[in-house]
Structure 1
């Protein structure tokens, strides 16, 4: 089919990315999609297209002639979008004009963003349509995958938190305490790092059994929740409070080594817990006994050893009359 037998309008419908040139390089027709990408291309190739093939001069007309003559693939770079390279091939029509059909290849998504192209800008049989649909499908898959990964990470974080949390009080459970205590006892891996001292307090409620026996387990649970709130309100954000079973609680107090400060903290906790004692217990009063160990680097390095020493201090408090703290 020769140039004179086909109108530019028909050519544009069939090849929306065509470029039709006279023998001397004058632009005779530009496909509507190519015009959308390079609006002033009908005024000439200069300063709008350059050769995109390595080792070849920048002249776009020479690149087109060489590609037509040697039946090679044509590469043209868009000057206003230097990262956008058009790919295609060309033929010489019987009247000497040059007809070039261009495409985007893997640069399709960049062209879509640059010129706001849609499926209406491509011929139905154009491979670019398949690439466009593939790109959209890929983007959709990546979006869903990212959403799934986010949900998975949130679920994992929630499961980890639940695995270390006491459901009744919201404090750490025994597993959470073991992790926190192991981290506190971990020896330094590098010479310029040192382990930091801390205090560990083992707390037990005095006469808690009578609450369950006389007032019921609901009253006991309510009291445990209130004790948890007291402990949270008396420690710092960097500290750890855990319920390790029944009416036993453990505190890890980072950097606290002053016996006077520890005694003052213990006294405040004892007073606050005594105020929670149900008035229905007319003959007894719930209180708290504490055993506190001050740990320094070089001390026992196993969690069970540290807990055993704090437990020993707790029993000294119990034996001395309860409702008090013993610091060792």
Structure 2
């Protein structure tokens, strides 16, 4: 060919991403859209563009010439933004000049953001903005899906928490206790994990039935809520406090193996619960009986066995006068 016969204005309109190079690499014409990415070509072609790994060549001009002569796709990087790749093809005129028509490929979104391009910067036949719209729509959908998944995960956590929580006291329920106790005993079966000792406390309120009988179930519920508050205030964050039914409570005290410390803690809890006894209760006062078992590595890994031992200690306290603690 003898070179483009169109004027610069028509060429810019049809090919806003064109680059017309002389034989020596001098820029004869550049499309207005490409000019926004390469605003100053006076420094020379090699100062603004470089070949990619996919486009071999000792310099950018030779890489362009090789791709044009072999009729292969051309890939070029911007020296100021090497993560942005231009792709396209070109033809060589009879005078040795080269006309390139470039585009963005998958880097379209990044290029538009980098140069602030709009629909007016693309030829009417280009689908660039339509593709960008699809990209944004897809991102919007993915964002909504991600938010939905986050909400679903949060709802699941709330549901799991509610399924393990006693609604009256806010403590764990029986299911929550079973999970916590299972986790405390799980390390027995894991050779790489050293089992951690703990104390299991079974607590039962003395004369609670008389509160319901004399003062009504509302008074009984109020008392149970208050007992839940006492237990929360006496256990640590790593411990577990649960109401397993009626007026029965269980504590898991991680790392607690000192009998004197357990005795002191139990007496404080008993005293705090005694102080909750309704003054309207005739002839009786509410107290608490407690049974404690200390579990250490080598003990039974069955939750039922550990609970049964604590239950036995509890009934020893009840049998010896109530309002006291027995530690096995």
Q: TM-score, normalised by structure 2?
A: 0.91
Asked whether the 8 Å contact 1:30–1:42 carries over to 2, the reply is: no
Q: Deviations over 1:304-326 (max 9, x none)?
A: 11111111111111122211111
Q: Deviations over 1:177-197 (max 9, x none)?
A: 111112222244454543222
**Residue 232 of structure 1 aligns with which residue?**
232
Matched, 1:71 2:71: yes
**Residue 86 of structure 2 aligns with which residue?**
86
**Residue 157 of structure 2 aligns with which residue?**
157
Asked whether the 8 Å contact 1:266–1:290 carries over to 2, the reply is: yes
Q: Which ranges of structure 1 fall in alignment gaps of 5 or more residues?
A: none
**Residue 177 of structure 1 aligns with which residue?**
177
Note the C-alpha offset of 1:101: 0.8
CA–CA distance in structure 2, aligned partners of residues 63 and 252 of structure 1: 73
Which region of structure 1 is more displaced relative to structure 2, 236-245 or 81-90?
Answer: 81-90
**Residue 126 of structure 1 aligns with which residue?**
126
SS in 2 for 1:147: helix
CA–CA distance in structure 2, aligned partners of residues 87 and 55 of structure 1: 10
Asked whether the 8 Å contact 2:55–2:63 carries over to 1, the reply is: no
CA–CA distance in structure 2, aligned partners of residues 157 and 292 of structure 1: 32
Q: Deviations over 1:199-247 (max 9, x none)?
A: 1111111111111122221111111111000001011111110000011
Question: Structure 1 218/119 Cα, relative in aligned 2: closer, same or farther at 3 Å?
Answer: farther
Question: Structure 1 325/121 Cα, relative in aligned 2: closer, same or farther at 3 Å?
Answer: same
CA–CA distance in structure 2, aligned partners of residues 94 and 304 of structure 1: 93
**Residue 297 of structure 1 aligns with which residue?**
297
Tell me the C-alpha RMSD between the 2 structures: 2.3
**Residue 103 of structure 2 aligns with which residue?**
103
**Residue 8 of structure 1 aligns with which residue?**
8
CA–CA distance in structure 2, aligned partners of residues 200 and 33 of structure 1: 74
**Residue 32 of structure 1 aligns with which residue?**
32
CA–CA distance in structure 2, aligned partners of residues 191 and 65 of structure 1: 67
CA–CA distance in structure 2, aligned partners of residues 21 and 80 of structure 1: 20
CA–CA distance in structure 2, aligned partners of residues 44 and 128 of structure 1: 28
Q: Which ranges of structure 2 fall in alignment gaps of 5 or more residues?
A: none
Question: Structure 1 302/90 Cα, relative in aligned 2: closer, same or farther at 3 Å?
Answer: same
**Residue 59 of structure 2 aligns with which residue?**
59
SS in 1 for 2:205: strand
Note the C-alpha offset of 1:16: 1.5
Question: Structure 1 120/280 Cα, relative in aligned 2: closer, same or farther at 3 Å?
Answer: farther
CA–CA distance in structure 2, aligned partners of residues 326 and 237 of structure 1: 24
CA–CA distance in structure 1, aligned partners of residues 4 and 92 of structure 2: 13
CA–CA distance in structure 1, aligned partners of residues 55 and 241 of structure 2: 71
SS in 1 for 2:75: strand
Asked whether the 8 Å contact 1:199–1:254 carries over to 2, the reply is: yes
Tell me the number of residue pairs that the alignment of Structure 1 and Structure 2 aligns.
Answer: 328
CA–CA distance in structure 1, aligned partners of residues 260 and 4 of structure 2: 103
CA–CA distance in structure 2, aligned partners of residues 66 and 54 of structure 1: 12
**Residue 315 of structure 2 aligns with which residue?**
315
CA–CA distance in structure 2, aligned partners of residues 147 and 43 of structure 1: 48
Note the C-alpha offset of 1:107: 2.1
Note the C-alpha offset of 1:53: 5.9
Asked whether the 8 Å contact 1:199–1:256 carries over to 2, the reply is: yes
Matched, 1:254 2:257: no
CA–CA distance in structure 1, aligned partners of residues 43 and 260 of structure 2: 89
Question: Structure 1 70/294 Cα, relative in aligned 2: closer, same or farther at 3 Å?
Answer: closer
Question: Structure 1 21/171 Cα, relative in aligned 2: closer, same or farther at 3 Å?
Answer: same
Q: TM-score, normalised by structure 1?
A: 0.91
